[in-house]
Structure 1
Amino acid sequence: MDDDCVPIMTYETLAVPSTPSTLDAWVKHLDAVNLPIPLHSHTLVCQALNDSRRSLREIAEVMQDSPALALSLIREANYHAHGSLSEPSESLEVAINRLGLQRTQALLERLPALPAEEMPLAFRQIQLISQHAAQQASGLFGNRLARLWHEIYWGSLLFLSPLWAMALTHPQQLDEWERRVFHQGECASKVEQRLFGVRLFEICRALAVLWRLPEWVLQGYAVITEEQRTLVSVLHIARDSQNPLRQQQRLDANPALRRWLGQPAHTVLLANGLALSAQQAWDSPHNLRWQYLTSLYLQMPLDELQQQVHQNAASSGRYHALPDLWHPAQSLLWPWDMRRTNQGLLQPAAPPSAEALALWRKHCGKLLAEPSVFSNSMHLTTCACDALMACGMRRVMLLMADKTSSTLRVHQISGLPKEVFDLSLPINQSTALQRLMEHPAQVRLTPENNKVISAVLPDSLRSLFPGEHLLLRSLSNHGRTVMLIVADQGGGPFSQTSVQAFGKTAQCIEKALNSFTARGR
């Protein structure tokens, strides 16, 4: 097949404006979608098919870089095998062998080929997630279950493939689902009913059945849609990661649950759970759940698993990341709690929960008590630090000025290494500290002013709070500036609720300082 036969199409020819609202309508609609493949991949595959020296395995390896092409070929092979005694094709090499080179070329001619930049961003993003999942699956399970490598890799790559078609035709709905469910924590069933008229993974499961995707893909959807109670039971055990002996005892006490957990098919679901939830953040509740489950499945300590998962993500990032797409490996360069928005930018940290705010109010009430309830300054600053953490801060440092107001020494910390207690900062060596200690003031670092303000802060202080977002607040006691508070939410953008609570907490601490020292007068 010559290069000039490449069917160049624009996305407008693919778009379908109507939105289905029933399961049958969604399946019919998405099954009819022809997924585009990158023009560059199309050219390379054409060359491989026309090269008589290439084996089927070599041709399959060239095609692997285009997930949409792999899916289309496997679907086509399974469609022709439907009704026969043959099992569904569970790898690309098997699909090509069943179709033969002539029908493979004919399918390639029918598929739209587009420059990558002309494909919808959501479509390319969801395929990137699938590639990341396949990398996680290979890295975590490929060596342990070497004989099942094909099932693990292809099942993991194709697990989210029903969403590829949805991302192509209805990217706005899929983006809104991600924003509301992952980033805003709304109830998934309610969001999906409103956006799709049916549960999202019911659509995926129905398409997986129709397309005769690998059996492990179907088993993964069965867990999500039918076996949630079992999954929750396993998660309860998995969360007890600090006590592996007790975990094993609980599994031994329930042989059915232990057998369920040990199924090799779960590798596909675990890899996709890790990859999809990492799109939000590495320390999000969603991602931590999948880390706990994978840790229990592999009988691996959680910290070792996290290290392996991050290495796999970095490998995936090197192979698959593109400038206009978000890959979770990027956030490994920053604190884990940095979040991604739908535009690939970092969004503010989540606001504190109702329980955290209730605890924050309790600490603030103690700080405002008259007369002071604190027996010494350490007692007071411990309460102050607890209040700041309860309002959403992730790293906190309280420094006190010495009697001559020439040096600041660390008095209390949270979220920082204990060695920080040895830190002392000469005030006259930093213009920022001088201004903060002249009179009470608050400074908020942002990406816009970070470079200027960081240049006048002590390096020893700034290095403890990496990131472009930081709060500094100095407090007075009977007219003398005596304390400096430094806090952040992991270096990423602040939650506005936490910023407001930080300011109120500082006022409470200042009143507590004045009340505490007045008591002895």
Structure 2
Amino acid sequence: MPTQKPVPRTLDGWLQQLDGVRLPIASSQQELVRRYLVDSRRSLRDIAEQIQNSPAIALTLLREANRSNSGFSEPAESLEMALNRLGLKRTETLLAQMPAVPEDELPPALGQLQLISLHASQQASGLFAGRLARLWQEIHWGSLLFLAPLWPLAFAHPELFEAWEERVLRRGEPAARVERELLGVPLLQLCLALARHWRLPEWIVQGYRLLVEDRRLLVKALHLARDNEHPLHQQQLLDADPNLRRWLTLPSNSILLANGLALSSHHSWGCPHSLRWQRLTGLYLQATVGELQQLIHQQAVVSARQHAQPGLWHPAEALLWPWDACHLQPKAAPALPNSDALAQWKQQCTRLLAEPSAFANVVQLTDAARQALQAGGMPRTLLLLADRNHTRLIAQQSTGLPADAAQLRLDPAHSQVLRRLLGQAGQLRLTPANIAQFSALLPGSLKALFPSEHLLLRSLASNGRVVMLLVADQNGAPFSDAQLQVFGKTVQCIERALGSFAKRGA
């Protein structure tokens, strides 16, 4: 797993961080590729076909071949071209330097995103490669690597990937607003900048340039594609708009369409977003939506046979469901603690309320507080202690967070919210209604641990002075009134315990 990194808020900061991320690969795939490299009977095409099963290897080799100091003015458009530039010895060296882990230890967020890329590659091959046979390599590698700028983001910050999926795909929130809150920059703008920086194939850059800088053309095409049942009328409208007609003949659009189909079907085959991409692809191929759906469903099944992995979702699974069924549903609010958890909650609260204090040190007290919060229905918690001068908040206990959360250090001077909470004991409850107001006032490292619109921040005092900050949520789900009451009672117990602990030597 990656070391938790701070979350940048600028395009330059993201470029610098993501450019340095080294993506992990499956150790079994590393060994297979190594065997192909040392086998003199294997052609470059054989090696490239083997590598395509591990998109991270393909990206690493293509980036290395396309570095600005490689001596080539034009970027390599295919992996075969990249292998030819690097040479087999250099390729073998690069392969050995890649971090390798057992396949079942690959990060799920990264694995899910790469599975979408493999699905997009199959869609592109099935829909377009036969029609554009001379360009099949550009279509294949461009479609496979189109989402590559997102891979290091999903690896370094899986919580941001999950938060984006929850808010944009599950709940239908505006992507621009969510990305501004989570990343500080538009996601597509970041993808375009990375594609240019890595010198990825030109078709990939063109696709992101269209999405970022020329969206009006795409909107016109999507509007025209809605009239799928009247091809003659569509053709008349195209004849009246030569610029749009020229754009619809560009082979480079194939990789954008394939990724649009794969990414939207990850949500649902019948959702409006997916239907828009299906209609646009039908316009591009001059096929009806019914004809196109039959083709893309067939390619999804082929992709699932080749690439499906345990624990990861493949859209082909949903083809057995009702047409309007959706894989990504908004998370329901967690149920109240069951009887066992409630018994544990009462036990920890009894310890916290004991007079005199039952704790020999702060670590024991905060551990009991952590267990009480968890048993009371808060699966993600962070307890931070304030120093005497309120110049530092230091993580003491955590639940449901990455291991690196234990090393978190926050400087309240950089956050108006933290300064206010340290000035006087109080509580801030973040909701979708006020998240935009307060999100920019919170440290990025804290938001990275809790990518949520439903969050509680509570400062606790002892003898009139704030000594502790609690941060808790329910994995992004909204709080019910009953759950807030349990949290409030737990906090009261912790405050009583802090008071008793302070008197222990008196």
Compute the TM-score of the two structures, normalised by the length of structure 1.
0.62
Deviation (angstroms), 1:80: 6.0
Alignment-derived partner of residue 244 in structure 1: 231
**Structure 2: distance between partners of 1:36 and 1:245:** 50
Q: Aligned partner of 1:178: which letter?
A: E
User: Hey, what does 2:64 align to over in structure 1?
Assistant: 76
**Corresponding position of 1:275:** 262
Q: Which residue of 1 aligns with 2:6?
A: 18
Counterpart position of 1:422: none
**Corresponding residue SS for 2:141:** helix
State the Cα distance separating 1:236 from its structure 2 match.
1.2
Q: Measure the CA separation in 1 of the matches of 2:331 and 2:147.
A: 28
Q: Which of 41, 50, 56 lines up with 2:44 in the alignment?
A: 56
Q: Deviation of residue 81 (structure 1)?
A: 5.2
- Name which of 140, 163, 170 aligns with 2:150: 163
**Which residue of 1 is the match for residue 82 of structure 2?**
95
Q: Can you list the C-alpha shifts for 1:384-424, whole angstroms capped at 9, x where unaligned?
A: xxxxxxxxxxxxxxxxxxxxxxxxxxxxxxxxxxxxxxxxx
Structure 1 residue 169 displacement after superposition: 0.6
State whether residues 142 and 148 of structure 1, in contact with CA within 8 Å, keep that contact through their aligned partners in structure 2. yes
Q: More displaced, 210-219 or 254-263?
A: 254-263
What SS does structure 1 have at the residue aligned with 2:7? coil
Mark the runs of 5 or more structure 2 residues left unpaired by the alignment: 333-506
Select the structure with the greater relative contact order (CA < 8 A; seq sep ≥ 6): 2
2:173 maps to 186
Matched positions, count: 332
Question: Aligned runs of 1:462-501 on 2, under 5 Å?
Answer: none
> Following the alignment from structure 1 to structure 2, what is the Cα–Cα distance between the partners of residues 56 and 228?
38
Q: Which residue of 2 aligns with 1:105?
A: 92
Equivalence for 1:498: none
From 112, 121, 132, the counterpart of 1:134: 121
| Aligned residues of 2:110 and 2:155 also touching (Cα < 8 A) | yes
Match of 1:417 in 2: none
Of residues 194-203 and 49-58 in structure 1, the stretch that sits farther from structure 2 once superposed is 49-58
Task: Quote the Cα distance in structure 2 between the aligned partners of 1:347 and 1:319.
Answer: 29
Could you tell me which residue of structure 2 aligns to residue 45 of structure 1?
A: 33
In the alignment, the residues of structure 1 paired with residue 273 and residue 258 of structure 2 have an alpha-carbon distance, to the nearest angstrom, of: 13
Give the 3-state SS of the residue equivalent to 2:199 in structure 1. coil
Mapped pair 1:201 → 2:156: no
Matching residue's letter, 1:266: N
Q: Which residue of structure 2 lines up, in the alignment, with residue 31 of structure 1? A: 19
Distance (whole Å) between structure 2 residues aligned to residue 77 and residue 348 of structure 1: 43
Q: How does 1:370-381 map to 2 (within 5 A)?
A: none
Q: What is the alpha-carbon distance in structure 2 between the residues aligned to residue 28 and residue 18 of structure 1?
A: 12
Structure 1 match to 2:197: 210
Q: Spell out the pairing of 1:270-419 with structure 2 (5 A cutoff).
A: 270-341=257-328
Q: Does 1:115 align with 2:102?
A: yes
Aligned to 2:473: none
Alpha-carbon distance in structure 2 between the residues aligned to 1:247 and 1:335:
31
- 1: CA distance between counterparts of 2:42 and 2:250? 36
Amino acid at match of 2:10: T
- The residue that corresponds to 1:452 in the other structure is none
Deviations 1:329-361 (A, max 9, x none): 0000111222223xxxx6699xxxxxxxxxxxx
CA contact (8 A) 1:340 1:347 kept: no
Q: Which one-letter code corresponds to 2:220 in the other structure?
A: S
Determine helix, strand or coil for the equivalent of 1:89.
coil
Which structure's CA Rg is the greater one? 1
Which stretches of structure 1, 4 residues or more, deviate above 3 A after TM superposition? 346-349
Structure 1, unmatched stretches of 5+, are 1-10, 350-521
